[in-house]
Amino acid sequence: MKLIKVVGFLFQFGLIGLALAVIYMIAVSDKSQSDMLAFLSSPGQATRSPQRTSLSPVYSYADAVSSSSASVVTIYTSRTVRHEPHPLLDDPIFNQIFGDQLKRRQRSNSETNLGSGVIIGSEGYILTNQHVVDGADEILILLADGRGSQAVLIGQDKDTDIAILQVPISELTGFKIAQLPPLKVGDVVLAIGNPLNVGQTVTMGIVSATGRNRIGLNTFENFIQTDAAINLGNSGGALVNANGELIGINTAILSQSVGAQGIGFAIPISMALDIMDQIIEFGEVTRGWLGVEGTEITTQAALATGNPTIRGALIVGVFIDSPADMAGIRTGDIVVAVDAVPVQSIRDLLNQITLRKPGEQVEISIYRGARPLTLTMPVSLRPQ
């Protein structure tokens, strides 16, 4: 009898404890009461996580492409290549016997080239690479909407591989030029052009590096490096950011002979537009010149200054009667700054001076051995 009373007491106590536990769970749980009741109504079912009804967002660059693709054109060029006369035609006897046959065999053939270009503004100007139109007798432009036209070469600059074309077509869509913030390594970029003449194509990558030089492609180099695929036919096409704004002109890939992949180069749009403005306004590009030849600083030259970590350009040659010669720069001097702006290398010195206008005065800070000197000289026009 006592056992029955004890069991009954424990059963009542258990029910009270369970009720208190349920009340507590409802009070502190972030679930709704209906969810809790549903849970309690099916105690034999295992607890399951709620089903997700929406997917994670999918990132797309369709808007960037649609806003910029109409401003990218395909460029077809052709030129006539004439073969040299057969050397035996200079022989009078041979010429008399076989001259007619050899002259008939003197043929000329037409070479074609493919590239891309970008529309700048609504006046028909097109930016492209100089090597795309080099030596062309005829230049044809095909727009993304199917319209086509012959183009006129306005000017070109081999030192930066930039050429300016113009087409007599109305209602052109010019590119929106990227402004601030500045380009950073890791930014997403899109390359738009007509590689291998398969049609307008978009490839994606990131900015691998900025300010690349000493590549050996141009005299003046300040490339954007990217792993976005750039193939034959992409030259002169657009490199745009994730907003569809123009940031560069696709130029080249590193030679495949060394097995390189994913190493492409583009000319920054700021540099290309500066060349374009000068060509349109003056018909040519004017650059500053000091008249020096330089190289990287040798260990011996650095030790002579008393600063083994010195940065700058070691002068190894000075042109006679050049601004540098007249100002007193000598072979063996180390140029460390231009107008107080540090010089990191001979390439840096070249780039700083070429941006100066002919006739502009500059202060060149040098080390001659351990002695610092500052020389003032005018910048002259760089010889072609």
> 222 and 276 share a domain?
yes
> For residue 322, what is the domain's CATH number?
2.30.42.10
> 211 and 153 share a domain?
no
Average pLDDT of the chain is 83
Question: Is-catalytic flag, 235?
Answer: yes
pLDDT at residue 109, rounded to an integer: 72
Which segment of 61-65, 100-104, 207-211, 368-372 scores lowest on mean pLDDT?
A: 100-104
Identify the residue with better confidence: 179 or 258: 179
Which segment of 107-111, 246-250, 260-264, 356-360 scores lowest on mean pLDDT?
A: 107-111
Asked if residue 11 is part of any domain, the answer here is no
Catalytic position from the list 68, 69, 71, 131: 131
Which segment of 82-86, 220-224, 337-341 scores lowest on mean pLDDT?
A: 82-86
Q: How far is CA 290 from the centre of its chain?
A: 29
Asked if residue 19 is part of any domain, the answer here is no
pLDDT at residue 215, rounded to an integer: 82
Q: pTM (2 decimals)? A: 0.72
**Domain limit, last residue, from 282, 303, 323:** 282
The model's confidence at residue 110, banded by pLDDT at 50, 70 and 90, is confident
At residue 188, does pLDDT exceed 60?
Answer: yes
At residue 99, does pLDDT exceed 60?
Answer: no
Of 363, 290, 303, residue with least CA distance to 332: 303
Per-residue pLDDT, averaged over 65-81, amounts to 92
Give yes or no for a contact between 250 and 237, defined as CB atoms under 8 angstroms apart.
yes
Cβ–Cβ contacts within 10 Å for residue 214, how many? 10
pLDDT at residue 98, rounded to an integer: 58
Catalytic position from the list 68, 69, 71, 161: 161
Question: Locate tokens 């607890």: which residue?
Answer: 47
Write the DSSP string, 130-157. HHHHTT-SEEEEE-TTS-EEE-EEEEEE
Domain count, the chain: 3
The vertex-290 CA angle with 287 and 296, nearest 5°, equals: 105
Range of the domain at 118: 70-166
> For residue 253, what is the domain's CATH number?
2.40.10.10
Of 369, 361, 378, residue with least CA distance to 324: 378
Catalytic position from the list 68, 71, 208, 235: 235
What is the per-residue pLDDT across 250-288, written as a single tens digit (0 to 9) for each?
998 876 555 567 899 999 999 999 999 999 998 888 889
At residue 115, does pLDDT exceed 80?
Answer: yes
pLDDT at residue 39, rounded to an integer: 46
Question: Is-catalytic flag, 41?
Answer: no
